[in-house]
């Protein structure tokens, strides 16, 4: 036991650098894995806790088109046992809010606020004084609108209506669960009843109504809707937002970040285990004779193995504990950034998941011990006599003798290369295991760097790929906010007479219901009716830039294109016929195309205006006109002119402005975690290559001493080693670029498929990809260059003696 203890202390004391690097690898592995687990678990837990705290709705129903009687609708749900229905809340739609002269593009639900407390979707105060209703002249706004646009209590905000612009003061900022998720394009504005009546009583149109439902057992909600259909003779013909869609966009960013971190954390752990295995194998070979002597003196193989086990157990504990501690703070930064809309000034987000982090730490510890046991077990094969005589096994000695007796260099043709290249290539080819480790490292690092860059750049460049995300690809979007001051005929005449305008078309969005269908399989339940968002085109979908990845957009009266999630859920493909309720009428439509869309998670569809008889496009504020130009660079100028000419009737914005308002937040959330992961891999690559090269230099010290003694300068030797590592890392970078572009996105697509994106729209910017991948080469070469400083500092005679 004393011998084991003495060897343990010697290994810890004499190999400080190597032990420090191993500890750092274990720390980083534990950090990334535990951070990802904490991020994912907290995202779900924090949302669930807030949802339960507010008695949050499982479904939000909106009665917009008068297809159901609101009072009868409300009465029926109040009569149902096991369901809590909210108040029937009147509202009107407006487009955009103005704060400090800047117009924020969001769809606003201007609510006639009932008295608090609400039975469902209780509001949680983030800022301001809590009251039963807003005071006259004030409004309450959601945290999602406040935090992302810098609107605080006391600020004044303005709204456009058909009669002009009215201004109200922000008296409260509230957590509004159904409309508070990241990337939401909607917001509920809670108004005083007198203000609501004053501003909207003379406005064209009628009040619409909103109601939330909370089920005692959410899984039973389909049974209630079947009863509803039996009672009223039709499915719910108005809009219905489900719990899944409410929850999904709270989770999407952290799910992406967490999944990527888990994948990279596992890769990091595998690298750490491979490095530990390589280090132990090298240590056994380097100390083969010493081990043989120890065994001849009576030390058992189990004692030698115990030496390595105790050493790496200590290093694991030293690395895992700070890794788990750091993960708590890193995950808190990520979660608070992505779930800021659930945070209030009265309370911070309470982080959980410490138990999961401890489980991760124990798992990492056990894997390290198992790896050490497997590789250290090689010490059992050391035969004392052979070790003392040869310094290796007799078989290895025979192989070495045969290798030295042949002119391997001539066979490989190294005599044709310059001396420096030959030395560099020899260093790489002779140390196969360490070279393989360095190749894997540079491949992984370049893959991570390239993937992170491509993902961020693709989100930044979404205006170029908007149609592949389910949006239009037009240059300008025009919305009407004052129907009485708008002349449809004059507007279209102006558009046609402007030589800069290529084409334009009117589009609108309505709710529809895909009718329930009988299952062909007797063992499978019938598919329930499904509420979907339907886009109606008064023009051409293709002209507006809407794309499909299978089939074509609808062009005729009996055609429909559907989102990928509808296609998967109902098992519908091109050529199939669907029964769809639109405005209360049943239509049989043939599927002509399938598209992906992150908006509404691809639970949406597209039809032409011919499907809906009697529709008159271009005269309603729930419509949008998409305009394309011959020269897209003139978009800003045309928008300014349209807004100036029709300032009392409509609002025009460029497509880039609309897209940026949604995805700028996503870029901000991704930058921090992706940057941290990239930096970690760069540093790890550098330090592992530094450590590996130091081991190789120690083994080859006599050879380098001979090089110096015959007149080769230290810098030339160092450059030779660096050139070999550079050549190896270039190969790794090339493989890594392919992996970062073609393999890692496939993994991410598995997550985004639930959100309606089955093929991630990537934008390849090679001017950025190549320099980013080059960083892994620089990191590898820098690590190897640092490791060869010992050659410059040591005299040739000492190197030869060693």
Q: Specify whether 398 is located in the same domain as 413.
A: no
Q: Specify whether 185 is located in the same domain as 245.
A: no
pLDDT tens for 571-585 read 899 999 988 888 778
The count of other CB atoms within 10 Å of the CB of residue 255 is 20
Q: Which domain holds residue 392?
A: 1-54+238-402
Strands, E, within 192-258: which ranges?
A: 208-215, 239-242
pLDDT at 302 over 90: no
Contact 21, 279 (CB under 8 A): no
Q: Specify whether 503 is located in the same domain as 643.
A: yes
pLDDT tens for 105-129 read 788 889 999 888 888 889 888 888 8
Query: Which pLDDT score, from 0 to 100, does residue 560 have?
Result: 93
In a domain? residue 59: no
Beta bridge partners, 493, equal none
In a domain? residue 141: yes
Cα–Cα distances in Å, from 320 out to 19, 314, 332, 365? 14, 10, 18, 8
In a domain? residue 656: no
Beta bridge partners, 527, equal 517
pLDDT at 591 over 90: yes
pLDDT tens for 1-54 read 566 666 666 666 667 777 777 888 888 888 888 888 888 777 777 888 888 888
Which one of 648, 671, 700 terminates a domain? 648
Using CA atoms, how far apart are residues 36 and 351, in angstroms rounded to an integer? 13
Q: How confident is the model at residue 84 (pLDDT cuts 50, 70, 90)?
A: very high
Report which of residues 569 and 204 the model is more confident about.
569
pLDDT tens for 713-732 read 878 888 888 888 888 999 99
Using CA atoms, how far apart are residues 648 and 644, in angstroms rounded to an integer? 9
Winning range, highest mean pLDDT, from 25-29, 160-164, 338-342, 655-659: 25-29
Query: Which pLDDT score, from 0 to 100, does residue 731 have?
Result: 92
Q: Rg (Cα) of the chain, in Å, rounded?
A: 34
Using CA atoms, how far apart are residues 658 and 663, in angstroms rounded to an integer? 9
Q: Which range, of 62-66, 112-116, 591-595, 624-628, averages the lowest pLDDT?
A: 62-66
Q: Specify whether 637 is located in the same domain as 491.
A: yes
Which one of 615, 648, 681 terminates a domain? 648
Q: How confident is the model at residue 409 (pLDDT cuts 50, 70, 90)?
A: very low
Mean pLDDT of the region 261-289: 78
Cα–Cα distances in Å, from 683 out to 19, 471, 705, 779, 781? 16, 39, 30, 8, 12
Q: How many domains does the chain have?
A: 4
Contact 732, 423 (CB under 8 A): no
Sequence-distant (6+) residues with CB within 8 A of 127 are 146, 152, 153, 172, 173, 344, 345
pLDDT at 795 over 70: no
Mean pLDDT of the region 252-259: 76
Q: Specify whether 342 is located in the same domain as 297.
A: yes
Q: Where are the alpha helices (DSSP H) in 743-788?
A: 744-752, 766-787
Q: How confident is the model at residue 230 (pLDDT cuts 50, 70, 90)?
A: confident
In a domain? residue 715: yes
In a domain? residue 604: yes
Q: Specify whether 320 is located in the same domain as 344.
A: yes
Report which of residues 342 and 477 the model is more confident about.
477
Mean pLDDT of the region 281-308: 73
Query: Which pLDDT score, from 0 to 100, does residue 564 have?
Result: 92
Query: Which pLDDT score, from 0 to 100, does residue 429 have?
Result: 77
User: How many residues does the structure list for the chain?
Assistant: 802
Q: Is the dihedral of CA 153, 140, 621, 591 positive or negative?
A: positive
Query: Which pLDDT score, from 0 to 100, does residue 42 have?
Result: 78
Burial of 405 (0-12, 13-18, 19+ CB in 10 A): exposed
Query: Which pLDDT score, from 0 to 100, does residue 395 have?
Result: 58
- Provide the mean pLDDT of the chain: 81
Q: Specify whether 206 is located in the same domain as 76.
A: yes
Query: Which pLDDT score, from 0 to 100, does residue 407 have?
Result: 46
Beta bridge partners, 95, equal 107
Winning range, highest mean pLDDT, from 294-298, 469-473, 516-520, 646-650: 469-473
* Burial call 407-423: b when 16+ CB within 10 Å, e when fewer: eeeeeeebeeeeebebb
Q: Specify whether 75 is located in the same domain as 213.
A: yes
In a domain? residue 125: yes
Q: Specify whether 627 is located in the same domain as 680.
A: no
Cα–Cα distances in Å, from 756 out to 328, 698, 801? 32, 55, 67
Which one of 188, 221, 254 terminates a domain? 221
Which residue is listed with tokens 């491949």?
A: 443
The percent of residues above 90 in pLDDT, for the chain, comes to 15
Winning range, highest mean pLDDT, from 321-325, 389-393, 512-516: 321-325
Q: Specify whether 5 is located in the same domain as 147.
A: no
pLDDT at 190 over 90: yes
pLDDT tens for 736-778 read 999 999 888 888 888 788 888 888 888 898 999 999 999 989 9
Cα–Cα distances in Å, from 368 out to 176, 312, 318, 651, 727? 46, 8, 13, 62, 31
In a domain? residue 477: no
Query: Which pLDDT score, from 0 to 100, does residue 3 have?
Result: 61
Query: Which pLDDT score, from 0 to 100, does residue 692 have?
Result: 79
Query: Which pLDDT score, from 0 to 100, does residue 410 have?
Result: 46
Query: Which pLDDT score, from 0 to 100, does residue 192 have?
Result: 92
Report which of residues 437 and 387 the model is more confident about.
437
Q: How confident is the model at residue 239 (pLDDT cuts 50, 70, 90)?
A: confident
Mean pLDDT of the region 389-407: 54
pLDDT tens for 88-106 read 999 988 877 888 888 887 8
Q: Specify whether 397 is located in the same domain as 417.
A: no
Q: Specify whether 338 is located in the same domain as 393.
A: yes
CA atoms within 13 A on the CB side of 339: 32
pLDDT tens for 676-726 read 778 888 888 888 888 778 777 777 777 777 777 777 787 888 888 888 888
Query: Which pLDDT score, from 0 to 100, does residue 418 have?
Result: 72
Mean pLDDT of the region 217-246: 85
In a domain? residue 616: yes
The percent of residues above 70 in pLDDT, for the chain, comes to 86
């Amino acid at each position: 036991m004393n011998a084991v203890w003495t060897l343990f202390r010697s290994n810890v004391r004499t190999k400080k650098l190597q032990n420090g690097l191993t500890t750092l690898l274990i720390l980083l592995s534990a950090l990334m894995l535990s951070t990802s687990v904490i991020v994912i678990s907290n995202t779900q837990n924090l949302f669930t806790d807030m949802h339960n705290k507010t008695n949050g709705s499982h479904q939000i129903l909106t009665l917009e088109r008068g297809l159901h009687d609101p009072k009868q609708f409300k009465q029926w749900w109040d009569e149902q046992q096991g369901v809590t229905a909210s108040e029937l809340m009147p509202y009107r739609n407006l487009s955009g809010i103005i704060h400090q002269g800047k117009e924020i593009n969001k769809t606003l639900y201007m609510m006639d606020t009932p008295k608090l407390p609400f039975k469902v979707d209780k509001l949680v105060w983030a800022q301001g004084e809590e009251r039963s209703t807003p005071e006259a002249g004030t409004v309450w706004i959601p945290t999602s609108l406040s935090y992302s646009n810098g609107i605080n209590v006391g600020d004044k905000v303005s709204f456009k209506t058909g009669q002009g612009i009215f201004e109200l003061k922000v008296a409260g900022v509230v957590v509004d669960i159904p409309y508070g998720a990241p990337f939401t394009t909607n917001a509920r504005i809670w108004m005083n009843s007198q203000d609501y009546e004053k501003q909207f009583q003379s406005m064209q149109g009628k009040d619409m109504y909103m109601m939330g439902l909370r089920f005692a057992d959410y899984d039973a909600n389909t049974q209630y809707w079947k009863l509803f259909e039996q009672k009223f003779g039709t499915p719910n013909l108005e809009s219905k937002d489900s719990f899944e869609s409410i929850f999904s966009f709270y989770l999407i960013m952290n799910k992406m970040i967490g999944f990527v971190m888990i994948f990279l954390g596992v890769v990091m752990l595998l690298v750490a285990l491979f490095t530990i295995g390589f280090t132990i194998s090298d240590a056994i070979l380097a100390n083969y004779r010493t081990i043989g002597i120890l065994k001849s003196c009576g030390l058992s193989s189990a004692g030698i193995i115990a030496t390595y086990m105790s050493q790496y157990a200590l290093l694991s504990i030293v690395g895992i504990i700070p890794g788990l501690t750091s993960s708590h703070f890193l995950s808190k930064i990520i979660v608070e950034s992505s779930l800021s809309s659930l945070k209030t000034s009265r309370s911070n987000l309470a982080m959980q998941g410490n138990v999961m982090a401890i489980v991760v730490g124990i798992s990492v510890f056990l894997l390290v011990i198992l790896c050490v046991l497997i590789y250290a077990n090689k010490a059992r094969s050391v035969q004392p006599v052979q070790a003392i005589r040869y310094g290796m096994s007799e078989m290895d000695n025979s192989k070495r003798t045969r290798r030295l007796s042949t002119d391997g260099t001539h066979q490989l043709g190294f005599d044709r290369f310059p001396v420096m290249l030959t030395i560099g290539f020899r260093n790489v080819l002779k140390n196969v295991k360490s070279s393989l480790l360095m190749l894997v490292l540079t491949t992984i690092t370049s893959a991570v760097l390239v993937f992170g860059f491509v993902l961020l750049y693709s989100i930044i460049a979404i205006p170029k790929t908007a149609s592949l995300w389910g949006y239009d690809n037009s240059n300008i979007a025009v919305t009407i906010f004052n129907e009485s001051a708008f002349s449809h005929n004059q507007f279209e005449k102006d558009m046609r007479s402007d030589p800069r305008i290529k084409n334009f078309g009117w589009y609108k969005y309505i709710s529809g219901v895909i009718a329930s269908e009988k299952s062909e399989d007797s063992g499978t339940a019938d598919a329930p009716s499904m509420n979907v968002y339907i886009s109606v085109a008064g023009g051409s979908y293709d002209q507006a830039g809407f794309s499909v990845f299978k089939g074509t957009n609808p062009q005729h009266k009996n055609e429909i294109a559907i989102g990928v999630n509808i296609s998967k859920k109902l098992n519908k493909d091109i050529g199939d016929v669907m029964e769809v309720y639109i405005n209360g009428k049943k239509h049989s439509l043939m599927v002509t195309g399938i598209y992906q869309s992150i908006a509404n998670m691809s639970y949406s569809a597209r039809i032409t205006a011919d499907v809906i008889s009697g529709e008159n496009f271009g005269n309603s504020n729930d419509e949008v006109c998409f305009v394309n130009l011959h020269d897209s660079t003139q978009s800003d100028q045309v928008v300014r002119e349209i807004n100036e000419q029709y300032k009392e009737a409509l609002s025009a914005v460029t497509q880039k402005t609309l897209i940026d308002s949604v995805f700028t937040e996503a870029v901000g959330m991704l930058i921090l975690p992706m940057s941290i992961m990239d930096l970690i891999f760069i540093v790890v690559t550098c330090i592992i290559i530094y450590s590996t090269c130091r081991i190789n230099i120690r083994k080859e010290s006599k050879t380098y001493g001979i090089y110096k003694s015959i007149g080769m300068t230290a810098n030339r030797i160092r450059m030779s080693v660096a050139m070999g590592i550079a050549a190896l890392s270039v190969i790794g970078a090339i493989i890594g670029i392919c992996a970062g572009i073609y393999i890692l996105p496939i993994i991410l697509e598995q997550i985004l498929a639930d959100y309606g994106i089955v093929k991630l729209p990537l934008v390849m910017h090679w001017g950025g990809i190549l320099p980013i991948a080059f960083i892994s080469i620089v990191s590898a070469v820098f690590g190897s260059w640092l490791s060869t400083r010992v050659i410059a500092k040591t005299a040739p005679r000492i190197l030869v003696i060693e």
